[in-house]
Structure 1
Amino acid sequence: MSAGARDGRVRGDRQKAALVELLEPVVGESGHDLEDVAISQAGRRRVVRVIVDADGGVSLDDIAVVSRAVSKALDETDVLGGSPYVLEVTSPGVDRPLTEPRHWRRAAGRLVKVAFTQDEQGPAETVEGRVVAADEAEVRIEVAGSERAFPLSGLGPGRVQVEFRRIEADDEEGETHGH
């Protein structure tokens, strides 16, 4: 890596840290959690992507409220310098890794896959099941019909599994077709 690239990355890391410091309380005031901030270049402009989440999810109205508050905060500071930027406020996608207790709590009822290691020397066990509940110390997952408690410290990043529900024949027969 060249010295210029390294300097650019350090500057970007500092800028991201400054953005997180600025925006965390702004997003928090709206009842949301700041999950991540990403800055990327798009031609002459930068794209500032602010990812937010909340218990119960994030609606389009929530996104609008957070977007206005973040935009105001950015306008009142020079953390981005003078160059133009585009602001995107979004919620995390289904592919976001579950790493924090709040991520696991918000995944209650969802099918997940995660690596679990009892200790640092032991082999990892791949666990697939439905999240029952989570707190700051453990995640309870229903695996093969029985509930198991896993210490959060032994879990790798979890992934929500996409489920496709088959339309049941009973649902189709129950519909009125105007005959």
Structure 2
Amino acid sequence: MDQNKVKTLVNEALAENEALFLIDLNFGTEGSIKVIVDGDSGVPLSECIRISRHVEHNLDRENEDFSLEVTTPNITDPITDPRQYNKNIDRTLKVKTAEENFEGKLLEVTDQAITLFWKTREPKPIGKGKITVEKQQTIPLSDIREAKVKIIF
């Protein structure tokens, strides 16, 4: 299997829709190819079909047997591409850094960082009891080891 040819075909198909971007391209055993794509506002099934057809119609099945899967990231998969943060604004994220773990609503995304917001209960400065405190944290993208969207039912 000519992996460079497959990469070129995937990139050609993605170039037709600038809202789409490649998350992962895996070449498995026995000619299996798995393409994971995401989009700035999701990926319709029709786009997965279009990408699959573009790749499949430009490869010669008579020379090589292969299986092709074009899919989107699983909701439980971590965020791997900075563009994925934009489509998750206003969703709750769990973010791990080397020093701390954060869980909060994604407020803002820049080229260098994300900003999370959350509320927590803390002891009163004076007296007994607790008060609700609003917190906000800006986390550099380079510090993030793992970020996942929290699934809320």
- Distance (whole Å) between structure 2 residues aligned to residue 16 and residue 128 of structure 1: 39
In the TM superposition, what whole-angstrom CA distance separates every residue of 1:92-118 from its partner, at most 9, and x where no partner exists?
A: 11122223321222221221111234x
Q: CA deviation at 1:19?
A: 3.6
Q: Which amino acid aligns with 1:132?
A: L
Q: CA RMSD for the aligned pairs?
A: 2.4
Q: What secondary structure sits across from 1:158 in the alignment?
A: strand
In structure 2, do the counterparts of structure 1 residues 133 and 96 end up closer, same or farther at CA, with 3 Å as the change threshold?
A: same
User: What TM-score do the two structures reach when normalised by structure 2?
Assistant: 0.76
| In structure 2, distance between residues paired with 1:162 and 1:16 | 35
1:74 counterpart SS class: coil
Percent identity (aligned): 27
Alignment CA distance shift 1:108-1:29 (3 Å) = same
Report the counterpart of residue 139 of structure 1 in structure 2: 114
Gaps (5+ residues) in structure 1? 1-11, 118-123, 165-179
**Correspondence for 2:11:** 24
Deviations 1:126-150 (CA, angstroms, capped at 9, x unpaired)? 0011112212111011122433221
Larger proportion of strand: 2
Paired AA for residue 48 in structure 2? I
Q: Provide closer, same or farther for how the CA distance between residues 81 and 40 of structure 1 changes in structure 2, counting only shifts above 3 A.
A: farther
Q: Are positions 1:161 and 2:136 aligned together?
A: no
Counterpart selection for 1:85 from 60, 66, 72: 66
Q: Aligned pair count?
A: 138
Summarize the Cα distance change of 1:93–1:83 in structure 2 as closer, same or farther, 3 Å threshold: same
CA distance in 2, matches of 1:89, 1:29: 16
- Aligned letter for 2:96? A
